[in-house]
């Protein structure tokens, strides 16, 4: 990418100030708000590399486009687009997106553009969804996850299909499938969906998809650890509008031994790539080291060690998770922003540190072209809630041929019926 000239930087800054608040822009560029104000008042100018970062923030990353798409899909409960990428890779075009969280929407649109309809809350908006071949939905996990159930139980709140809000979101999916009749759907949720309420929740879901909607349904729990050095099991539910020869054994799952944390950690040997859209937010290229702000404070490190000792003495397994380059990590969660305790990186002669948002992106299988335009707190939440993107690239690979066969058979049947009439 060519470094913008000073005049171009001023234009980029003006555009960025229209799209982002000063606080958001400061966070995205790794500077303080006062610096943004000085730039805006022409009292100072961004450094050249920050001009390139501004350019990256304002332009969506290069998204795979197809002159003649093989199929169309909709992306519901889209998060930051982790499921979407694989289906684009295998010939799909996204024609509709729904994501209610404003920060996730920002990350999604910065990376994928806004060349199709994008709405927030999907509840009651079924008529907004256009015809499509594949429905993708990572529907909310909270009512079914172990942590979510425990929290709701402690508060005396209902969960699963008794939950009056999130627990009904699956039925939004049901109504959209019923209305649009896609050739296939791909749904994602936490592994615990299969055991929630002694298996009743999953039985209801499967019955709705098979008996009420008439789809051929296949489900499998897949560990993202086959693609990144992180244990992360999720259930994937695939359905087809006609009978197929689909078989989960078509999946090619690499050995987990192929992946270690060195694959995602910043390189301190001079080989860390400079990313214009990151600048030096996460990595200090002068010192060839991760920015100091990610190192735990003395008080937090002492607290985490005391907490771990207390639970070890009680015979519990609770405590922080410490990794190095040869390690594999625990599951990254949306609460990572609080203390980073589940995945702390050891440092020679220093206290451990949190992962940076870029390292979290890599741990979730997002390549370095993926732009992170939000604060660290929001980025940690987004990647903690995301899917491991390469898992769904592989799911897309095995689903697409069968989906296309269903699509073609449905079109042929419609043509024959029209000819007879």
Q: Are 261 and 323 in contact (CB under 8 A)?
A: yes
Nearest to 87 by CA among 411, 421, 391: 391
- Rounded-to-integer distance, Cα 11 and Cα 24, Å: 18
Q: How many Cα atoms sit within 13 Å of 186 on the Cβ side? A: 29
- Rounded-to-integer distance, Cα 85 and Cα 100, Å: 19
Which residues touch 17 (CB under 8 Å, ≥6 apart)?
A: 25, 36, 40
Please tell me which residue in 78, 141, 190, 193 is annotated as part of the active site: 141
- Rounded-to-integer distance, Cα 190 and Cα 180, Å: 26
Q: Which two tokens stand for residue 193?
A: 């969906």
Residue 276: how many other CB atoms lie within 10 Å: 18
- Rounded-to-integer distance, Cα 145 and Cα 151, Å: 10
- Secondary element (H or E) of residue 376: helix 376-385
Please state whether beta strands 71-76 and 92-98 pair in parallel, antiparallel, or not at all (unpaired).
parallel
Find residue 137's DSSP bridge partners.
Answer: 76, 187
- Rounded-to-integer distance, Cα 11 and Cα 190, Å: 45
Please state whether beta strands 322-323 and 344-347 pair in parallel, antiparallel, or not at all (unpaired).
parallel
Residue 94 bears catalytic tag: no
- Which DSSP symbol is given to 209? I
Active-site residue set = 141
């Amino acid at each position: 990418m060519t470094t913008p000239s000073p005049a171009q930087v001023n234009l980029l800054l003006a555009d960025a100030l229209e799209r982002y608040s000063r606080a958001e822009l400061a966070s995205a560029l790794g500077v303080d708000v006062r610096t943004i104000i000085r730039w805006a008042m022409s009292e100072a100018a961004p450094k050249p590399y920050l001009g390139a970062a501004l350019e990256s923030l304002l332009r969506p990353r290069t998204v795979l486009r197809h002159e003649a798409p093989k199929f169309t899909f909709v992306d519901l409960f889209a998060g930051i687009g982790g499921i979407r990428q694989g289906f684009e890779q295998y010939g799909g075009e996204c024609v509709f997106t729904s994501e209610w969280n404003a920060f996730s929407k920002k990350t999604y649109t910065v990376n994928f553009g806004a060349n199709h309809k994008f709405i927030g809350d999907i509840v009651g908006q079924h008529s907004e969804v256009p015809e499509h071949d594949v429905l993708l939905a990572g529907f909310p996990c909270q009512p079914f996850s172990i942590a979510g159930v425990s929290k709701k139980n402690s508060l005396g709140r209902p969960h699963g299909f008794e939950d009056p809000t999130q627990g009904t979101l699956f039925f939004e999916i049901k109504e959209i499938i019923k209305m649009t009749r896609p050739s296939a759907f791909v749904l994602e949720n936490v592994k615990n969906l299969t055991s929630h309420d002694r298996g009743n929740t999953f039985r209801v879901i499967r019955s709705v998809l098979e008996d009420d909607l008439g789809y051929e349904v296949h489900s499998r729990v897949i560990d993202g650890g086959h693609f990144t050095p992180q244990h992360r099991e999720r259930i994937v539910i695939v359905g087809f509008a006609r009978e197929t020869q689909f078989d989960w054994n078509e999946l090619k799952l690499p050995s987990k031994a192929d992946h270690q944390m060195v694959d995602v950690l910043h390189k301190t040997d001079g080989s860390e790539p400079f990313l214009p859209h990151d600048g030096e937010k996460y990595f200090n290229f002068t010192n060839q080291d991760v920015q100091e702000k990610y190192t735990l404070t003395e008080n937090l490190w002492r607290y985490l060690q005391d907490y771990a000792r207390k639970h070890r003495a009680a015979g519990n397994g609770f405590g922080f998770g410490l990794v190095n380059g040869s390690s594999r990590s625990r599951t990254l969660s949306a609460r990572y922003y609080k203390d980073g305790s589940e995945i702390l990186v050891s440092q020679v002669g220093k206290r451990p540190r949190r992962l940076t948002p870029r390292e979290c992106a890599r741990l979730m299988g997002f390549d370095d072209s993926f732009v992170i335009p939000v604060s660290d707190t929001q980025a940690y939440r987004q990647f903690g809630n995301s899917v491991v993107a390469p898992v769904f690239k592989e799911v897309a690979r095995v689903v697409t041929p069968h989906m296309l066969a269903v699509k073609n058979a449905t079109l042929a049947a419609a043509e024959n019926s029209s000819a007879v009439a």
